[in-house]
Chains A and B, each alone.
Chain A
Amino acid sequence: QVQLVQSGAEVKKPGASVRVSCKPSGYTFTDYHIQWVRQAPGQGLEWMGWIDPKSGGTNYAQKFQGRVTMTRDTSISTAYMELSRLTSDDTAVFYCARDLFDSSGPSWWFDPWGQGTLVTVSS
């Protein structure tokens, strides 16, 4: 079955960077974009951007531009999201998800999602 497995929880100090990994299985890694979503404690879902594993092309949400970098390593079928200059406001669970598309609508949706990675920013 298709699944995305993310790296474990992280604790970082303000000003540091964090890198979260996402390893899909059950499909060809380069066939679908990987999306990244942030969820602060008790808050809603916030889209961060996507990476095309085939080309390495990226598209970042304006809010995170200059601070987020999405990369991939096709040799090990893994995507990464790095967020720099962390503050306490970045304490959140970060999710990756596979991006699917149907041209008939059109419609874009995320399925499945990774299990989430908790990043805690604290001095």
Chain B
Amino acid sequence: SSELTQDPAVSVALGQTVRITCQGDSLRSNYASWYQQKPGQAPVVVIYAKNNRPSGIPDRFSGSGSGNTASLTITGAQAEDEADYYCKSRDSSGNHPRVFGGGTKLTVL
């Protein structure tokens, strides 16, 4: 199956920890990458490979995964973390399409 499932919306209190999850069969064969998108802006990768952050991404962002589930954790969420978050994987079938989750809208209260 080439689907990734995310919760549509999650909220977190300022300074608290939040986990955003992504489920799909393709995650059994490769690591997810995670993208942050703020309104009117292009997506930006925040986590890739097992748990790697590009330069400039705060260390409060971390990634993990097991089986068919990948997670993005924000430890000590800040107001500027309010955004849409998308997971992405590479499907193992056919021509190996890339597949995105439906996105999670994170609200920081």
- Residues of A in contact with B (beta carbons under 8 Å apart): 35, 37, 44-47, 50, 59, 61-62, 95, 100, 102, 104-116
Contact = CB atoms under 8 A, between A and B. Distances in A.
A64 to B, nearest CB: 11
B95 A59 contact: yes
B108 interface: no
Given A44-B102, A45-B35, A111-B54, A105 B44 contact: no
A113 B43 contact: yes
Provide the main secondary structure of the chain A interface: strand
B65 to A, nearest CB: 9
Contacts of B31: 105-107
A88 B51 CA distance: 39
Contact of A107 (B50, B94, B100): B50
B30 interface: yes
A104 B42 contact: no
Contacts of B95: 59
B33 A108 contact: yes
Given A45-B86, A47-B99, A105-B50, A110 B42 contact: no
Contacts, number: 74
Q: Chain B's interface: helix, strand, loop or mixed, by majority?
A: strand
Given A46-B100, A59-B96, A105 B49 contact: yes
Considering residues B48, B49, B96, B98, which has the most beta carbons from chain A within 10 angstroms of its beta carbon? B98
24 contacts: A37-B100, A44-B101, A44-B102, A44-B103, A45-B37, A45-B86, A46-B100, A47-B88, A47-B98, A59-B97, A62-B97, A100-B48, A102-B52, A104-B50, A105-B49, A106-B90, A107-B49, A108-B33, A109-B33, A109-B49, A110-B33, A110-B45, A113-B44, A115-B42
Contact of A111 (B37, B45, B94): B45
Contacts of B99: 47
